[in-house]
Amino acid sequence: YRPLSDSEQIKFLKKIRLYIQQQKYNEAVSLCKTLINLALEGLSYYHTYDRLFLGISITMGFVGWMTYVVLVIIKTHTNLTRTVPTNNKKSTVLFYSFAFAGIIIVFFLLIQTCPWTYYIYCLLPVPVWYAVVTEIPVIQDLATNVLSLHIGQCIGFLLVCILGIEILVFSFFYRSALSVGLVVFAGWPVITQLWVQAKTRALIWALLCVLLALFPLMPVVGREPNIPLVIAAGLLTLLISCFSLACLWRSEKKYRSNEDLRVYFYQMLSIALSTYVVSSTHDSLKNKLGLPILNQIISWMTLVSSPLLLLLSSTFLFQRLFSILLSLMSIYLLLSTGYEALFPLMLFGLMFVWINMEQEALQHYGLSLKPKLAVFNFAYAMDITQFRQLHLDDVRRSFFFVFFIVTAFFGTGNIASINSFDPASVYCFLTVFSPFLMGGLLVLKVVIPFVLVSCAFEAVQVTTQLSSKSLFLIVLVISDIMALHFFFLVRDYGSWLDIGTSISHYVLVMSLTIFMMLMNGLAQLLTTQRLELSGRIKHHS
């Protein structure tokens, strides 16, 4: 560190001593302060000495990995490339070139006696970029296809992608960014001319997008309970349930059975009980009478029975999704204290319309004939679905999924800060402090909106004839671009809150892909599996 080399240190100390001898104390103090600042800058210099070098290595690894995933998508899930015979001689030269680069990196790190973690950061890009370079024919085919397109279309597509990802990144700092994104989503049918063939659905889509956009603008769920809103959410769910049940009753008998109607009736009863329990529990606690034992028993019974009732319902698409909503809403109501009780209802309404809009989009682009969703059965989706190749519009589908997952995450602000968790949310289950049990119930509350989005995405995926692998590879690229953003936003200065938040954002986005894969597995279980009771006739589509 040149400003504090040995000679510079001696000069500083000589000057300070001279000023003290000459009784120029102010000058001596000023010079001491300068020396202190230089010492702190020197510490920072040595602490971050390898930052640029390691940052470049990690960035190269990220970019290489994302490029490889994009090439895999293009090669295996699109018709943009042609099969080219591999040149063994070129492959051997490439292999030895990258092996030589790896040896040089190891030698360079050995000379510097670097920690073992440096070897991981620096060597990981080598095999990743080797995998990218071996796909040169795919890159050439891609370049040919891109150059054949109109330059304005390419630039427009890139700008839309960049803007979409930036909105997602901003939403981690400002929840209102989600509202901006949802308002833009409201205009999607108009921009793509979808509204021409589905005016009613486009209007409902726009309305629900605007209604959902209000939630990120509201304050984080606070300490003051608003039970009338929870009761209103329960009554609204019952109203929607009655309407849906009436539609189901009027449908053809081969698509429903008395057992199915009985299951929906029990689920509606569960919603009514949850609404009553929330109201009476908070009234009892307000009057300092404690948690009524009957309410506690009903709450725990609802928590256990709701998933079982869900698995007893029909696997026809809308019937199973309706059952998922009722089962999860009965639990969510018990864990709500305010406006957040309305959030899953609005979110699921939008997801329901999204499934229908995707069918319109599929027909609009002429990718497939429009299937009749009312008779679509999750249980036989894997047997009847012939997976199609990816289309550019499928990138938008994957982005919608990531956006809705982030909206489910920050929609009511429940995860924005640890301070926003309200213990009053679990009062229907227990009032005695039990950190693990309370934590588990709060995590369940957080997960419920994710499950609703994942089940809707599962429906979109199977009805648009796409394999989960192809869509999740696109999701992987989107989440990795976000992770690279947050990698550069990690801070090691400022308050502990700022440092912790920057690190947690990075870890959160890095974990997003794994989390979404788990949610996808759970969604497949909830949509396709059905418990068969003895004596029940199994209905096939």
Decide: 317 and 376 in contact? Cβ < 8 Å.
Answer: yes
Report which DSSP code applies to 523.
Answer: H
Lowest mean pLDDT among 222-231, 301-310, 340-349: 222-231
CA distances from 287 to 232, 280, 291, 292, 310 (A): 22, 11, 11, 12, 36
Q: Show Cβ contacts of residue 441 under 8 Å, excluding neighbours closer than 6 positions.
A: 335, 425, 426, 429
Decide: 316 and 376 in contact? Cβ < 8 Å.
Answer: yes
How many whole angstroms separate alpha carbon 465 and alpha carbon 463?
Answer: 5
pLDDT surpasses 70 at 444: yes
Q: Which tokens is 350 given?
A: 């939008």
Decide: 427 and 192 in contact? Cβ < 8 Å.
Answer: no
Residue 366 amino acid letter: G
CA distances from 176 to 173, 182, 219, 411 (A): 9, 10, 11, 9
- For the chain, the farthest-separated pair of C-alpha atoms sits apart, in whole angstroms, at 105
What burial class does residue 224 get, using C-beta atoms within 10 Å of its C-beta: 0-12 exposed, 13-18 middle, 19+ buried? exposed
Average pLDDT taken over every residue of the chain: 84
Tally Cβ neighbours within 10 Å of residue 28: 18
pLDDT of residue 39: 92
How many whole angstroms separate alpha carbon 20 and alpha carbon 22?
Answer: 5
Measured distance between the N- and C-terminal CA atoms of the chain, rounded to whole angstroms: 75
pLDDT surpasses 90 at 425: no
Q: Cα dihedral angle (207, 212, 218, 223), rounded to 10 degrees?
A: 130
pLDDT surpasses 90 at 414: no
What mean pLDDT do residues 394-420 have?
A: 77
Q: Tens digits of per-residue pLDDT, 284-341?
A: 888 888 888 998 999 999 999 998 888 888 888 888 899 999 999 999 999 888 888 9
Decide: 99 and 133 in contact? Cβ < 8 Å.
Answer: no
How many whole angstroms separate alpha carbon 371 and alpha carbon 369?
Answer: 6
Lowest mean pLDDT among 1-15, 25-39, 370-384: 370-384
CB-side neighbour CA atoms (13 Å) of 25: 1
Q: Show Cβ contacts of residue 56 under 8 Å, excluding neighbours closer than 6 positions.
A: none
Report which DSSP code applies to 149.
Answer: S
How many whole angstroms separate alpha carbon 332 and alpha carbon 119?
Answer: 47
CA distances from 57 to 52, 60, 172, 403 (A): 9, 5, 26, 29
Helices (H), strands (E): how many in the chain? 21, 0
CA distances from 101 to 1, 50, 54, 94, 108 (A): 30, 20, 17, 11, 11
What mean pLDDT do residues 209-238 have?
A: 86
How many whole angstroms separate alpha carbon 430 and alpha carbon 299?
Answer: 10
Q: Tens digits of per-residue pLDDT, 170-182?
A: 888 888 899 999 9
pLDDT surpasses 50 at 396: yes
pLDDT of residue 252: 60
Q: How confident is the model at residue 534 (pLDDT cuts 50, 70, 90)?
A: low
pLDDT surpasses 50 at 536: no
How many whole angstroms separate alpha carbon 406 and alpha carbon 456?
Answer: 15
Decide: 317 and 377 in contact? Cβ < 8 Å.
Answer: yes
What mean pLDDT do residues 361-389 have?
A: 66
What mean pLDDT do residues 66-71 have?
A: 92
Q: How confident is the model at residue 124 (pLDDT cuts 50, 70, 90)?
A: very high
pLDDT surpasses 70 at 499: yes
Q: What angle do CA 301, 263, 438 make, to 5 degrees?
A: 25
What mean pLDDT do residues 461-484 have?
A: 85
pLDDT of residue 416: 42
pLDDT of residue 37: 92
Decide: 358 and 352 in contact? Cβ < 8 Å.
Answer: no
pLDDT surpasses 50 at 537: no
What mean pLDDT do residues 257-275 have?
A: 87
